[in-house]
Structure 1
């Protein structure tokens, strides 16, 4: 890695524009996830600030961006309904942070290395499709689902697809106009305008989109047009008139509830789910990194733990690495962790000093930014690439995408891992045992690792060897032979004379394969 990439201050020309993009993406998501969690709106902002500044500084990842995550929404909703107060919930967040730090020291980060590459790529593509599908209603002003929602089924009985259909009956003309115009401006800017010169490359397309969206709505207001956006289609940040009122937005855990059994159940649940999501997203962010840098996962768990510890102490939601913000960061051209840190600073300063200006931002314009980000993650060329790799890569890829779309991130990943494991076992199963015959001459060649899963086919093939045959069993290339397989072979050698079968067994002289001394040529 070049010294410039190692210097966080050596790439500010790339990281500052990227931080603005991530800030614009993160702002509605922080508020939306807090709203969807039935938590105070400012708790989402706190989590976004801590995720950017604290975790961004402590993490070993150069491009990952952390903040409140949609994947934890259902857990937070259930916890707030079960626990006596929000302050009691904050105790759970603090404990979850401590548990994550412990997991980091226990080196639990290695779990992320066992996720198949096809499943990670599928997760990215699925998130891209979810962004597109979930933001289409917001693009036209239909805000029944909170910003940042990723789950398929909704509490009111609707789902991702019915939400899109319902939005067609609730189109707000002004919102649709700003949303569609924003999407077209984003495409044109990214495809053509940035090629005009280096100066244009320094101006983030999402910033242009947002400024034009604000200008259009302000024109509607000035001209008293019926296209003026209603309040629910605008960013809605809590406003403080004084420093004391701003400080009052921060809440603190009530450790009087630390003996509450449910507080600990919620803490363990948050720690496990947040850690799993983070490990998955870290793997995905490393895949997206154009420099292919590798994030130390145990350090990441510790950083996330410190982040959750602090977030819980000052009234924030639980935090994970978030792939939506990370992908926006990568697509915007970030090179180091300064982008994530600066986005956290922007969140803090803008919410503190210019909430009135932020509340002028139309949600349809931000929806356009997220839809474009989603397209970058789920381009048709990605699907074509995996199709060309063969069914053992394409099937886990597609199944994982469908599973994530129809359930949620963790369930979909679990399904993808099971399918991926099936193809791995299938490949090993086929390659571990090679059988060929010429008339009554048979060759059984055992290769690599021959497990108990190969026992049925070996037993079946040996049983079908006809009388008066010659069988060569070559085990010299096997690195491992399961004892059940050894037993099947030895039983066949013992019974072979009954069918006048000549058996020659070739064992490895350098490997302990478990054959008994009587396993010799017959």
Structure 2
């Protein structure tokens, strides 16, 4: 691809990339914080997501990086599964990338369509609530072991709410002040200022909160404000003395753990959930694209896989395409993928040149940003919306949320899918056939007419059996298969047996286009 072609939309892509950079920088740090990972790992993931995935992806407007949707999985994997061994976790990230690339080559980009939307929304809502619960201690200024387990009931006898209650015993007034003012700014920015003028859309609320946090921390340090923050209550990024020093700070996976089964389990979970979140984001981004371009999903899986392999190899968090950054990219006029790539370079430059400034950011500022992220994932209006859609949507959604909060992400999704399957089977049970009105023949005999559905599966057997059992003695029944393209063998066998048993009840059975095993279709 020629360079002049790459930069043909630079007038649109450059401003959009700057906005995305300002959105991504605090989120990269915040998601690393929520994941219980080194903060530098979030920056690495943002850089790789922008430069590598942005270049390899077929998405014109999608932006990739560390995602809130994986934070809970990462938190549990690092702290619980691997006992704090981050290098072993990085091996799982590399393997997850390999799995994603394999899925791309196997053309598995359609897998996202097999997850019920109610379960997906429940997953994102559960993640949002968990992010909120896990960040409350940071907002209060209690930063000792607040990450805990990703499960509600924790191994140390605490649970999520008791851990929050304990945080009130260690409140830091300076942190609470920063978090409260930051939340107020974010809410006001989102609800009022961003709708007033385009300037407030370009200068995003999170970057203002980060700037304010740095300023307040500086005022705390020089005594202008009578508050203070402890060293472990601010961002800790390594400060490179040169470009060589910067690249020397990368962390590498522990390849000796290749035989550890837990590594493969975590890798599989990251690959599946990350791929699912990416595919959902791709679908949403394509709908927002003014030109309605379609992203090739299999290529996207390959690009995400490549990004995760590289991110894991140098110490970064898992990567997905994320709708927050993608929607900001579209809103501010990006035309090509160069916007995503350039935002990655801006993250790289900032990590090399202003790491010392970034280390002035209070964790309470990032906690406020994540509280807003969590709220947007778990808006109360979503519960109301899902309720209005009926029990078939609301029950799997709610079950997923509750199960995620009470157990963990993977178990929660499994519970939601089981509820979804139940309603699918229930729906299938009810739609296996329909009964026409009963008519009376000239000789006074009742005639019942059963029309089978287009697809009659094993799960419809009970429903068809119930309908046939209700046919009264001394009557006639017509079993019409004219509309059926496929009838499961179990149902075929049931109809055959019914035809024989009906003789004992003096029931005449007529079948239309019924295909018996081993015979061609013919009316009987």
2:53 and 2:424 mapped to 1: Cα distance?
35
Conserved? CA contact 2:78–2:84, under 8 Å: no
TM-score (norm 1): 0.84
What's the offset of the Cα at 1:253? 5.8
Q: Does 1:56 align with 2:54?
A: yes
What secondary structure sits across from 1:403 in the alignment?
Answer: helix
TM-score (norm 2): 0.84
Conserved? CA contact 2:79–2:148, under 8 Å: no
1:81 and 1:481 mapped to 2: Cα distance?
52
1:155 and 1:7 mapped to 2: Cα distance?
53
Residue in 1 that maps onto 2:498: 492
Cα deviation code 1:141-181 (max 9, x no counterpart): 12245679855444534332223222222221111111111
C-alpha change, 1:456 and 1:198, in structure 2 (3 Å) is closer
Conserved? CA contact 1:441–1:470, under 8 Å: yes
Residue in 1 that maps onto 2:21: 19
1:340 and 1:123 mapped to 2: Cα distance?
27
Residue in 1 that maps onto 2:65: 66
2:10 and 2:104 mapped to 1: Cα distance?
24
Residue in 1 that maps onto 2:198: 198
Conserved? CA contact 1:480–1:513, under 8 Å: no
1:372 and 1:413 mapped to 2: Cα distance?
23
| 451, 469, 477: which one aligns with 1:463 | 469
**Alignment of structure 1 residues 503-522 onto 2, 5 Å:** 503-507=509-513, 514=517
What's the offset of the Cα at 1:300? 2.6
What's the offset of the Cα at 1:307? 1.8
**Alignment of structure 1 residues 425-504 onto 2, 5 Å:** 425-435=425-435, 438=438, 440-504=446-510
Residue in 1 that maps onto 2:232: 232
Query: RMSD between aligned alpha carbons?
Result: 3.5
Conserved? CA contact 2:214–2:362, under 8 Å: yes
Conserved? CA contact 1:51–1:319, under 8 Å: no
What secondary structure sits across from 2:236 in the alignment?
Answer: coil
Residue in 2 that maps onto 1:178: 178
Residue in 1 that maps onto 2:301: 301
What's the offset of the Cα at 1:365? 1.6
C-alpha change, 1:312 and 1:198, in structure 2 (3 Å) is closer
1:455 and 1:19 mapped to 2: Cα distance?
57
Conserved? CA contact 1:44–1:316, under 8 Å: no
Residue in 1 that maps onto 2:443: none
What's the offset of the Cα at 1:387? 1.4
Residue in 2 that maps onto 1:369: 369
Conserved? CA contact 2:449–2:480, under 8 Å: yes
C-alpha change, 1:152 and 1:49, in structure 2 (3 Å) is farther
Residue in 2 that maps onto 1:415: 415
C-alpha change, 1:197 and 1:237, in structure 2 (3 Å) is same
What secondary structure sits across from 2:455 in the alignment?
Answer: strand
Q: Structure 2: 5+ residue runs without aligned partners?
A: 441-445
C-alpha change, 1:9 and 1:496, in structure 2 (3 Å) is farther
2:252 and 2:131 mapped to 1: Cα distance?
33
Conserved? CA contact 1:28–1:147, under 8 Å: no
What's the offset of the Cα at 1:495? 2.8
